[in-house]
Structure 1
Amino acid sequence: MAESAADRGSAGRGTDSASGHGTPDPRRWRALAVCLVAGFMTLLDVSIVNVALPSIREGLHTPESDLQWVLSGYALAFGLFLIPAGRLGDARGRRAVFMAGLTLFTLSSAACGAAQSSLWLVIARLVQGLAGGMVSPQISALIQQMFQGRERGRAFGMFGTVVGISTAVGPLLGGLLIQAAGAEEGWRWVFYVNLPLGLICLLLARRLLPDTPSAGPVRLRDLDPLGVLLLGTGVLTLLLPFVQSRQWPGDGKWLLLILAVALLAAFVAWEGRCGRRGTQPVIDLRLFRVRSYWLGCLLILLYFAGFTSIFFITTLYLQSGLHYTALQAGLAITPFALGSAVAASPGGRLVGRFGRPLVAVGLAAVAVGLGATALAVHLVPGRGAGWAMAAPLLFAGLGSGLVIAPNQTLTLSEVPVATAGSAGGTLQTGQRVGSAIGIAAVGSVFFARVGSDGWSSAYDHGLVVSVAFVVAGLLVALADVGGARRGRNRGRRSVPPAAAS
C-alpha cells in the first residue's frame, strides 16, 4: 500500500521477517489475524456509513453538504495520510504506529457515535479517516515483515479477501444495526461497533505484533508535511464549491476552482523540488514518466469517482425517496458488492493473459450496468425499484471486479522495484481522492434536483454523472490499449527484414 510495503520491506526481509536466525515467528498467523480485523474495521467504515446517512440526516438534522463531508472527508483524510504514515511506521516502528492509529480510530469512532451536531460528526470522521490512513499501510508492511515466499502470497490473498468482504457486508451490517437499534439512534451503532473490536485488537497487537528492528528517529521533512498540506488544501478547495453549491448562493464560489488549480500547481512544483533535492516527496513525480503508470492512476481516480458515489445516492434514493428501511436498502445494493467479489479472483488470473483490454471490458460492463439501473428505476417505479435494480447492479459489480485489482497489477507492472512501495501508495491515494471528488460532484447534482424534480429524477441525474466518470475511465483504458498497439506496430516496422526472418 504505502512505501513501507515494498521500498523498505524488501530491505528488511532478512531481519524483520524472522525471529532470531531466520526462524519464522510462531505467532505470525495470530498477528496476521489482528491485522486483518483492523483492516476490516477501517475499510468497513467506507461502506457501512452509506446506509446510515438518512438516519444521520434525521437524527442530527444534518444539511446535505454535511452528509457529503461525512463520506468524502473520511476518504480524503484516509488517502492523504497513507504515504506519510507508511514512512513513519518504517522509521518509528510499525507496531507502535499501528497501535497509535488503532487507538485514534477507536476513540474517533466513539466520538462519531456520540456526535450531537453534524459539525461534530464531520470533524470526528476526518480524524477517523486520518487514523485509518495510519493503520492501513502498516498492515501490508507487517505482512512483508512477518512472511516470506508462498506464505506471503497466502497472507496477502487473505487480506484481499477481507477487503472484498468488508465492502460486501458493510451495507447489510449497517442495515441490521439500524434495524435493531431504531432509525433515530441506530446510526450511532454503526460507529460504536468499532469499539469492542478496536479494544480487543489493541490488547492483542501489543502482545502479538513484532517490533521493527530497523526503527529509529525520523525527520519531519521525510514525511513531507508541506506536500501533504498543499495537496490536502488543493483538493479541499476543489471540492468546496460542489459540496456547498446549495449553501453558498451566487457564482462567486466557483472562483475557488482557480485557487484550487494554483494550490495543486504549487504542490506539483514542490514535489518536483523535493525530488531534485533528494528528499522524499508525498508523490514521486518521476513515476509519471512511465506511461502505463500515469494512465493507470488517472483511470482508477476516475473510476473511484464514479463507482463510490453510486452507493451514496442509491441509499439516499431508496431510503428517503422510496422509504425503504436501512436493511432493505443494504440488501438492494449488496448485489454490486457480491458481483465485484465474485469477479475479482478471475480478474486477477486473467489480467496476465489479456492485459488492459480486460480492464476496458470491465469498465464497459460497469457503465452498461449503471445505465440499465437507471432504466430499471424508470420501468419499475415505486418500491419495486429495489428488486428491479438488483440484476443490473450485479452486472455492474461483475465488471468492477475486472477493474480494480487488474488495473493495479498493470499500473505497477513497469514501475522499478525500488519505487514500488511509493507507487502503490500513490495509487491508493488517487483512489481515495477520486472517491472524495466523485461524492462531491455527484452529490451536488443529486441534491440540486431533489427539491425541484423529486427523488427519481435526482437519482437519474446522479447516475448520469457517475456513468460519465466511469466512461471517462474507459476512454483512458482504450487510449492505453491503442497506444500499446501502436508501440508494438512501430517495433515490428523497426525490425529489419533479415532480423525478422
Structure 2
Amino acid sequence: MRHMADSRAQRALAVCLVAAFMAGLDVSIVNVALPSIQRGLGATTDSLQWIISGYALSFGLVLVPGGRLGDARSRRAVFMLGVALFTVASAVCGLAPGVGVLIGARVAQGFAAGLLNPQVSGLIQQLFQGPSRGRAFGWFGATMGVSTAAGPVIGGALVTAFGPEHGWRWVFLVNLPIGLVLLPVARRVLPPPERERKRQESMDPVGVLLLGLGALLLLLPFIQVQQWPGPQKWLLVPVALGLLAAFVWWERRYPREPLVSLALFEKRSYSLGSTLGLLYFAGFTGIFFIYTIYLQIGHGYSALTAGLSIMPFALGSAASAVVGGRLVTTIGRRLTAAGLVVVLAGLLLTILALWLVPGEYVGLATALPLLVAGIGSGLVIAPNQALTLSEVPPAKGGSAAGMLQTGQRLGSAMGVATAGSAFFGTLRLGWSAAITFGFAVVVAFIAAALAAALYDVWRGPTG
C-alpha cells in the first residue's frame, strides 16, 4: 500500500516527529552538560571533544547505509531498531562509570540516530504527496527547531536540578521514557514493508565501505581541528577524496541496485538542493558553537542563561518552518532564497548588536536579531529538504535523504571548524573582534548558499 488514509498518515507522522525530537535533542542538550561531565568523571578536554564528535561521526557515517537499509527492507523495522538502540545507548550513557564507556555509548547513540533519521524522511516521502508532503516536512523542520531550542534549556535545568556531579546523567536518562513509549506505538502505527520491496536486495557492501571510509577521513580533520594540532590532519582530505572518487566509480559499475543512485544528482532539484544544504549547515551550525563560547567564557553566562540567549533563533526557526512547509509547493526555490536573505539580515543585525552592547546584556541585545535570523532559517531548512527530495521516487526516499543529511553533517563539521578557527585565531584581539570574525565566516557560507538558491531561481523550474 503506497499511501495510507490521512488520519493514519498523521499518526505515523506524529511518531516520526517524536523520534526526530529525541534524536535532535541529544545534539544540543549535551553541550551544556560538558562541565558537569568533566567534574563528575574527571574527563580531559580531549575526552569531552570525543563525547561530542563521536556522536557526530557515527551519525554521519550511518545515514546513507541506514537509509538504504530502510528502502530495501523495511522502514518500520529499521526505525524501531534505531529507537531501541538509541534508548539502550542513552541508558548506558546515563549510568556510565567512566569516560571510556560514555564515549562508546555516545558513538552507539550516533549510530542509532543515523539509522533513525533517514527513515523519518523516507516515511514522509512514502506517506504524503503534493502540498501535504511540504506541510509534513514543515512540521519536521519545526520539530528539529524546537529540539534545538529546548536542548540547552532542558540540559541546563537538569544539571541545575540534580546538581553538578550527577545532573549530567539525567541529560541522557530523559530519553528512556520516550523510547519505551515509542516502540510499541511505532509497531502499531507505521506502515509495514510494501510487497514489491520485500525482495532481498543487495546492500552493496563495497559501496558502504568506500563511502564510510571516505566520509570518515573527510569529517575527522574538521571535527578534530582544535584537538589535533599541526597540518598533518589535512593530509586525510586528499585520501578521502580519492576514496569518494572510487565510490563514484564503483556505483556507476555496480551490476545490482547501488547504495546511492547517482542519477539523483542529474536532477537539478537534488544536486543543487544538496549543495545549498551543505553550505547553509556550514553557516548556521557555527553560530551556536562560537556564540555559546562567547557568552559562557567571554561574559560568564551560565549554561542555562546561554541556552536561553540562543533560544530566539531556534524558536523563530521552529515557528516559520511550519509556514515554510505550507508555502513551498507554490513558491518553490524563491522561498528558500527569501529565507536566506532574512537570515543574512538577522546576522548582520546581530553583529551590530554585539558591537553596540558588548557587555553583560549582550544576550538580551541580540535576542531580536537572532529571532529574525531564525525566522529566515525556518524558511530554508525544511523547504529545501522538500524541494531537494521532490523528484526522488518514494522507494529511494531513505537513501536519498541519507545522502542529503550526510552532506549537512559534513557542512556542520566544516562550519564549526572554520568559524571556530576564525574565532580562536583572533581572540588575542579581544572578544568583540573574535566574535565578529567568527560571524563573518558564518555570513560567507550563508551568502554562498544564497548564490546557489538565486542561481536555481534564475534557471527557472525544473522538469
The question of a shared fold, defined as TM-score above 0.5 by the shorter chain, is answered with yes
1:324 deviation in Å?
Answer: 1.5
Q: Which residue of 1 aligns with 2:253?
A: 273
Q: Which residue of 1 aligns with 2:79?
A: 98
Q: Which residue of 2 aligns with 1:497?
A: none
The within-5 A match list for 1:63-462 is: 66-115=47-96, 119-140=100-121, 159=140, 161-206=142-187, 211-212=192-193, 214=195, 216=198, 218=200, 222-274=202-254, 277-281=255-259, 283-415=260-392, 419=396, 422-449=399-426, 452-453=428-429, 455-462=431-438
* 1:107 to 1:458, Cα distance in 2 relative to 1, 3 A: farther
Q: Which residue of 2 aligns with 1:484?
A: 460
- After superposition, give the CA deviation of every residue in 1:427-454 in whole Å (9 maximum; x if it has no partner): 233223322332333334444555x456
SS of the aligned residue for 2:300 comes to coil
* 1:225 to 1:182, Cα distance in 2 relative to 1, 3 A: farther
1:207 deviation in Å?
Answer: 5.7
1:290 deviation in Å?
Answer: 2.0
SS of the aligned residue for 1:178 comes to helix
Q: What is the one-letter code of the residue matched to 1:49?
A: V
2-structure distance, mates of 1:347, 1:411: 14
- After superposition, give the CA deviation of every residue in 1:86-105 in whole Å (9 maximum; x if it has no partner): 34335544443333221210
Q: What is the one-letter code of the residue matched to 2:301?
A: Y
Q: What is the one-letter code of the residue matched to 2:2?
A: R
2-structure distance, mates of 1:91, 1:28: 21
* 1:471 to 1:71, Cα distance in 2 relative to 1, 3 A: farther
Q: Contact 1:178–1:326 (CA<8 Å) still a contact in 2?
A: no
1:280 deviation in Å?
Answer: 2.1
Q: Which residue of 2 aligns with 1:13?
A: 2
* 1:255 to 1:72, Cα distance in 2 relative to 1, 3 A: same
Gaps of 5+ in 2: none
* 1:34 to 1:290, Cα distance in 2 relative to 1, 3 A: closer
The within-5 A match list for 1:15-94 is: 17=4, 33-57=14-38, 59-60=40-41, 66-94=47-75
Deviates more, 1:153-162 or 1:80-89: 153-162
Q: What is the one-letter code of the residue matched to 2:221?
A: P
* 1:386 to 1:255, Cα distance in 2 relative to 1, 3 A: same
1-structure distance, mates of 2:361, 2:224: 33
Q: Contact 1:72–1:437 (CA<8 Å) still a contact in 2?
A: no
* 1:468 to 1:54, Cα distance in 2 relative to 1, 3 A: farther
1:256 deviation in Å?
Answer: 2.2
1-structure distance, mates of 2:123, 2:459: 38
* 1:51 to 1:436, Cα distance in 2 relative to 1, 3 A: same
1-structure distance, mates of 2:150, 2:382: 19
Bigger CA radius of gyration: 1
Q: Contact 2:90–2:175 (CA<8 Å) still a contact in 1?
A: yes
Q: Contact 1:54–1:320 (CA<8 Å) still a contact in 2?
A: no
* 1:429 to 1:330, Cα distance in 2 relative to 1, 3 A: same
SS of the aligned residue for 2:265 comes to helix
Q: Contact 1:367–1:396 (CA<8 Å) still a contact in 2?
A: yes
1:380 deviation in Å?
Answer: 1.4
Identity of aligned residues (%): 60
1:332 deviation in Å?
Answer: 0.5
- After superposition, give the CA deviation of every residue in 1:155-188 in whole Å (9 maximum; x if it has no partner): 7665555334323322222222122123443232
SS of the aligned residue for 2:360 comes to helix
Q: Contact 1:55–1:187 (CA<8 Å) still a contact in 2?
A: yes
Deviates more, 1:50-59 or 1:465-474: 50-59
Q: What is the one-letter code of the residue matched to 1:112?
A: C
TM-score, structure 1 as length reference: 0.79
Q: What is the one-letter code of the residue matched to 2:275?
A: L
Deviates more, 1:57-66 or 1:242-251: 57-66
Q: Contact 2:122–2:401 (CA<8 Å) still a contact in 1?
A: no
- After superposition, give the CA deviation of every residue in 1:353-396 in whole Å (9 maximum; x if it has no partner): 44333322222222232233233222212321111111111111
Q: Contact 2:140–2:382 (CA<8 Å) still a contact in 1?
A: no
* 1:206 to 1:474, Cα distance in 2 relative to 1, 3 A: closer
Q: Which residue of 1 aligns with 2:440?
A: 464
1:286 deviation in Å?
Answer: 1.3
SS of the aligned residue for 1:13 comes to coil
1-structure distance, mates of 2:215, 2:285: 17
Q: Contact 1:45–1:170 (CA<8 Å) still a contact in 2?
A: yes
- After superposition, give the CA deviation of every residue in 1:284-317 in whole Å (9 maximum; x if it has no partner): 2111122332111101111011112222222232
Q: Contact 2:70–2:398 (CA<8 Å) still a contact in 1?
A: no
SS of the aligned residue for 2:404 comes to helix
1-structure distance, mates of 2:360, 2:307: 14
1:335 deviation in Å?
Answer: 0.4
SS of the aligned residue for 2:257 comes to coil
1:63 deviation in Å?
Answer: 5.3
Deviates more, 1:453-462 or 1:358-367: 453-462
Q: Contact 2:75–2:119 (CA<8 Å) still a contact in 1?
A: yes
Q: Contact 2:80–2:186 (CA<8 Å) still a contact in 1?
A: yes
SS of the aligned residue for 1:182 comes to helix
2-structure distance, mates of 1:416, 1:127: 30
1:337 deviation in Å?
Answer: 0.9
Q: What is the one-letter code of the residue matched to 2:253?
A: R
1:189 deviation in Å?
Answer: 1.7
Q: Contact 2:118–2:399 (CA<8 Å) still a contact in 1?
A: no
- After superposition, give the CA deviation of every residue in 1:214-243 in whole Å (9 maximum; x if it has no partner): 475745xx3233333323332332333344
Q: What is the one-letter code of the residue matched to 1:467?
A: V
1-structure distance, mates of 2:395, 2:189: 29
Cα-Cα RMSD: 3.5
2-structure distance, mates of 1:140, 1:249: 38
